[in-house]
Amino acid sequence: MNIYKQRRKTVLKQMQNDSVLILFSAMAKTVSNDTQYPFRQDSDFYYLSGFNEDNAVLVLIKSGEKKRVVMFVQPKDKMMELWTGKRAGVKKVKNDLSIKHVFSIKKLDEKLQKICQNKKAVYFDLFNKDKLIYIHLVVSKVKDNRSLKFYPRSFLDAKEILHALRRRKSAKEIALIKKAIDITKKAHHHAMSIKKKDIYEYELQAEFEYMFKKHGAMQDAYTTIVAGGNNANTLHYTSNKDVLKEGELILIDAGCQYDMYASDITRTIPVSGRFTPAQKDVYSLILDAQKEIIAMVRPGIKFSDLQTRARELLCSAMITLGILSGRVDDLIRKDKDKQYYPHSIGHYMGIDVHDACPYKDENGEELPLCEGVVLTIEPGLYLDVNDTSIPKKYRGIGIRIEDDILVTKDGHQNLSIGIKKEIKDIEAYSLM
Ligand SMILES: [Mn+2]
């Protein structure tokens, strides 16, 4: 069975009786006049349909044992297609997506009202204000019809079902993530090997974007961060507008999207190809911590366990470096480490780079990792150039090392292990 059909079946099974689930595609977004932002399909909509056009709606209907899938898409329109590209149209969607009931999006309001008749609940993206208003209008019209037995009295969160499903990746999804990582590897290695002294950060960013597209990844998974020297101490630095100077490090957080699946890799490399002794001190401690945290990843362990250990390791690294003094447990209790390691150890990764999967169960308890989860492990230290409490030789150094990890049956697999991160390997690559 087609994977999307399989997923729809699983969702239908989890829906309550006499309910409807409504999922909207992303809409093309205008910059101004007739110029548009690059289109990116809504992740949940894609997960259940595999359909990549805008202005479409997928509806799952469950009434007793009867289950039905209905899709609304843009109809064929020669004139519009001349301007904005080919549309699949009703007939092709019926065939290609193996959905029996496909209609023009123009019939959405009318058909949706019928679909919601005699249903008890509607699932949709509850926290999207526009959708909430739209669904409210549809259901209000249904409610006005007094001849009906029921109208939907509960609005439920479709994302709760979908995001829990998205947490465990299938073999096919893992293969796409691996492909995205493989392309990202080529880009990071390319960046290590080329001359970087005195070029602009955005020029190095362009090398990444070139490599991504060159190898078939049409979009970035997020805006590439190329942060030279102290810019690395701004966590989401994306202006990439400064010149890379000899003697500095460059923190590069870059990943592409392949067939809708993300990769998310950070490497911190020297502009000149050689780490200074001070940079080596900081880098080796973070790398050791990262390896130890990755080694902990297995089913049953929680993000919070990983974060606790990361804080201990980085805190003790900061004591070694003379940035903090005292006992690790005291320093952590007082959050002294957070100034230099302010973020968490990692996040889920999948269709979204920060994949929208649950971290807690319905009782608010943290979910342990399980087989099929993909996550990042990304410890870092950020030592601002103006922070006089840091030994002078370390000021202005910002380092993060990030890999993408798959949780396996009895441990983990580092999917990005092939991307160089040992000091000697990065230096050797730079001299090629
Ligand atoms: Mn990340």
Residue 273: its pLDDT value, please? 94
The arrangement of secondary structure in 171-430, i.e. its CATH architecture, is Alpha-Beta Complex (3.90)
Question: What does the block give as tokens for 417?
Answer: 């292990």
pLDDT exceeds 70 at position 432: no
Ligand 1 center–CA 425 separation, angstroms:
22
Which residues neighbour ligand 1 (ion) by CB within 5 Å? 264, 376
CATH classification of 3-165 is 3.40.350.10, yes or no?
Answer: yes
* Section 285-306 average pLDDT: 98
Kindly list the catalytic residues. 34, 236, 253, 264, 343, 347, 354, 378, 382, 400, 402
The string of pLDDT tens digits covering residues 80-105 is 999 888 999 999 999 999 899 999 99
373-392 mean pLDDT? 98
Pairing relation of β-strands 225-228 and 249-254? antiparallel
Is 106:90 a contact under the CB 8 Å cutoff?
no
For residues 182-188, give the mean pLDDT.
Answer: 98
Compute CA distances 282 → 77, 163, 279, 319, 398, whole Å.
60, 37, 5, 11, 9
358 contacts 173 by C-beta, under 8 angstroms: no
Distance 85 CA to ligand 1 centre (A): 34
CA of 408 to the centre of ligand 1 (A): 20
- Round to the nearest angstrom and report the end-to-end CA distance of the chain: 48
Which residues, 6+ apart, have CB-to-CB distance to 342 below 8 Å?
235, 382
How far apart are the C-alpha atoms of 244 and 197, rounded to whole Å? Answer: 6
The distance of Cα 398 from the centroid of its chain, to the nearest Å, equals 23
What was the pLDDT predicted at 176? 98
Domains 3-165 and 171-430 share a fold: no
Q: Does the reported pTM lie above 0.85?
A: yes
Dist. CA 178–CA 176, nearest whole Å: 5
Domain spans, the chain: 3-165, 171-430
